[in-house]
């Protein structure tokens, strides 16, 4: 017997389906997101949840002006799609200082666009000038 990431594996036995789903998806993809205290977003898509989380956090740590505030792995949001190719929305909101807030998700276009606008209104120094940009809302595969 041996332990792998907290799971007990017996020789010749496979990992339970539930444990396997936690680490990867036999079909489909994970989309994980990390934020900093300014509400900026970094994300990664991968067939392995833990890999998508790790890369999204690493991107935030490397590129954020406030890396100490990046979402921890345990606080990170992840969406899962059972489809072979993950189709998600990439939407933006902007303020009068030309600061942009991006949000991504597998929900509806309007849901992701609303989340971008809310982020702008929450984190912008000129929150009253925030506008959602529906024409910049793209479906990405």
Q: 66 and 126 share a domain?
A: no
Q: What is the rounded distance in angstroms from the CA atom of residue 16 to the CA atom of residue 105?
A: 28
Instruction: Please list, residue by residue across 96-134, b when 16 or more beta carbons sit within 10 angstroms of its beta carbon and e when fewer do.
Output: eeebbbbbbbbeeeeebbbbbbbbbbebbeeeeebebee
Question: Residue 59 belongs to what H/E stretch?
Answer: helix 49-63
Range of the domain at 57: 1-85
Q: 78 and 127 share a domain?
A: no
The tokens for 127 are 């929150």
Give per-residue pLDDT as tens, 111-128. Answer: 999 999 999 999 999 999
Give per-residue pLDDT as tens, 50-69. Answer: 999 999 999 999 999 999 99
Q: 68 and 114 share a domain?
A: no
Q: 80 and 97 share a domain?
A: no
Comparing C-alpha atoms, which of 72, 36, 35, 80 is closest to residue 54? 72
Count up the domains in the chain and report the number. 2
Q: 137 and 102 share a domain?
A: yes
Q: 3 and 53 share a domain?
A: yes
Q: 56 and 102 share a domain?
A: no
In the chain, pLDDT over 90 holds for what percent of residues?
A: 65
Domain termination site, one of 52, 67, 85: 85
Count of beta carbons in the 10 Å neighbourhood of residue 47: 16
Give CA separation, 65 vs 17, 38, 133, in Å. 40, 9, 24
Q: What is the pTM of this model?
A: 0.71
Instruction: Please give the pLDDT value at position 81.
Output: 85
3-state class (DSSP) for residue 135 = helix
Mean pLDDT for the chain? 83
């Amino acid at each position: 017997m041996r332990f792998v990431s907290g799971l007990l594996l017996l020789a010749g036995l496979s990992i339970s389906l539930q444990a396997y789903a936690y680490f990867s998806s036999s079909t489909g993809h994970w989309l994980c997101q990390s934020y900093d205290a300014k509400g900026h977003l970094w994300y990664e898509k991968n067939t392995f949840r833990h890999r998508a989380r790790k890369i999204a956090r690493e991107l935030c740590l490397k590129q954020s002006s406030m890396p100490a505030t990046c979402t921890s792995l345990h606080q990170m949001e992840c969406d899962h799609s059972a489809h072979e190719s993950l189709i998600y929305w990439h939407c933006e909101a902007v303020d009068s200082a030309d600061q942009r807030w991006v949000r991504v998700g597998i929900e509806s276009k309007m849901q992701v666009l609303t989340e971008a606008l809310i982020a702008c209104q929450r984190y912008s120094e000129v929150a009253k000038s925030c506008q959602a940009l529906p024409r910049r809302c793209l479906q990405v595969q």
